[in-house]
Amino acid sequence: MKALTFKRYGKSPEIGFTDVPLPALKPDEVLVQVYAVGLNPIDNMIPTGTFKPVLPFKLPATMGNDLAGVVTQVGGRVTRFKPGDEVFACLFDLGRGALAEFAVVPESAAALKPANLDFVQAASVPMVGLTSWQALKERAQLRPGQKVFIPAGSGGIGTFAIQLAKQLGAKVGTTTSTGNVPLVRRLGADEIVDYKKQEFENVLQGYDVVLGTVRGDAIEKSTAILKPGGQIVSIVGPLDAAFGHAKRLNFVLRFVFGLMSHKITRLAKKRGASYSFLFVRPDGDQLRQIGELLKEERIQPVIDKVFPFEQAKEALAYLAQGHAKGKVVVKLK
């Protein structure tokens, strides 16, 4: 079958289409004919080797993490799905990829596709949906009336997280450029800072939660807007020792991660707040609950651009420019 792969880590990962064998099916897995794949910034980062110590792949490796498609075969122990079912799933941290004609998905990672979404819309959801859910609902335990800061509100994670935070009853602050102010306001943002005109740390205050989505010094600056008792949950790093422990990494890596997060942890503590790093995990049950919100149209996918499978490499390059409003999706069928 045809798949988009990378052959090595580093500056020249040799990304391109390759004929690879149809993956073998284990008893607790389903074989999915892939109809669409949602792209995420980490898809461009993995081939560089940035996450090689914690995201090992057997090379050449198929790229992509989010998919929507149709089940064609089920393993002997699978009970929740049957051939013909339309599903969506996240394959992140499972050592396999989605940008292929077929993908093997653990039963525990998949959920039925909401009937009101097409495959492109469904494929745009899994990683941003699960990340938002695990950061805001599970880790931060965001409650009605609390305030959450979600920077880069017009991006892939921002457009989903704003909507989920509103469903949880929170007030949302965000940053965006002038042209995207109407978009984030429509999604539900209450306080909007045009980052081209103002620094968010000079405008916002009294926040309970910060969702770290922007690299650089933005996370450190965000400590200034937190209430005592507030928390930063970052999906872009720095990695921390708790993450290393949860991944059962060796002492050296846990120590290194502790050093990497020392400064932000110290800054947060000065505010009486806390810092933690979140590595999203596939979870079919959470995806099912997210699917209910999508089915009820309480959350709607935001799609920036759709590329055909033959232009998957160009789609990744477009995403890397960092200007997408919502998600970039590759369509196979």
pLDDT of residue 304: 97
Question: Residue 65's domain spans which residues?
Answer: 2-125+301-331
Q: Does residue 155 sit in the same domain as residue 248?
A: yes
In this prediction, residues 64-88 reach a mean pLDDT of: 98
Q: Does residue 138 sit in the same domain as residue 121?
A: no
Q: Omega before 238 cis (within 30°)? A: yes
Q: Does residue 49 lie in a domain region? A: yes
pLDDT of residue 23: 84
Q: Does residue 273 sit in the same domain as residue 309?
A: no
Nearest CA-CA partner of 2 in 60, 42, 52: 60
**Continuous segment of H or E residues that includes residue 327:** strand 327-331
Q: Does residue 286 lie in a domain region? A: no
Q: Does residue 143 sit in the same domain as residue 273?
A: yes
Q: Does residue 266 lie in a domain region? A: yes
Q: Does residue 100 sit in the same domain as residue 140?
A: no
Q: Does residue 39 sit in the same domain as residue 100?
A: yes
Q: Does residue 92 sit in the same domain as residue 171?
A: no
Q: Where are the alpha helices (H) located in the chain, listed in sequence order?
A: 41-45, 119-123, 126-132, 156-167, 181-187, 218-222, 241-246, 251-260, 262-270, 284-295, 312-320
Asked whether residue 124 carries a pLDDT value surpassing 90, the answer given is yes
Q: Does residue 282 lie in a domain region? A: no
Structure tokens given for 2: 């045809």
C-alpha distances out from residue 158 to 74, 97, 192, 255, Å? 35, 24, 12, 31
Q: Does residue 12 sit in the same domain as residue 118?
A: yes
Q: Does residue 113 sit in the same domain as residue 148?
A: no
* CATH code for position 49: 3.90.180.10
pLDDT of residue 81: 98
Q: Does residue 293 lie in a domain region? A: no
Q: Does residue 86 sit in the same domain as residue 205?
A: no
Q: Does residue 294 lie in a domain region? A: no
Position 53 confidence tier, pLDDT thresholds 50, 70, 90: confident
pLDDT of residue 237: 82
Position 244 confidence tier, pLDDT thresholds 50, 70, 90: confident
Asked whether residue 136 carries a pLDDT value surpassing 90, the answer given is yes
pLDDT of residue 238: 86
Position 230 confidence tier, pLDDT thresholds 50, 70, 90: very high
* CATH code for position 168: 3.40.50.720
Q: Does residue 284 lie in a domain region? A: no
Structure tokens given for 29: 């897995």
Q: Does residue 134 sit in the same domain as residue 111?
A: no
Burial, 33: exposed, middle or buried (Cβ in 10 Å; 0-12, 13-18, 19+)?
A: middle
User: pLDDT tens digits for 12-24?
Assistant: 999 999 999 998 8
Q: Does residue 273 sit in the same domain as residue 164?
A: yes
What does R_g of the chain's alpha carbons equal in angstroms?
19
For the chain, how many structural domains are there in total? 2
Q: Does residue 291 lie in a domain region? A: no
What percentage of the chain carries pLDDT values higher than 70? 100
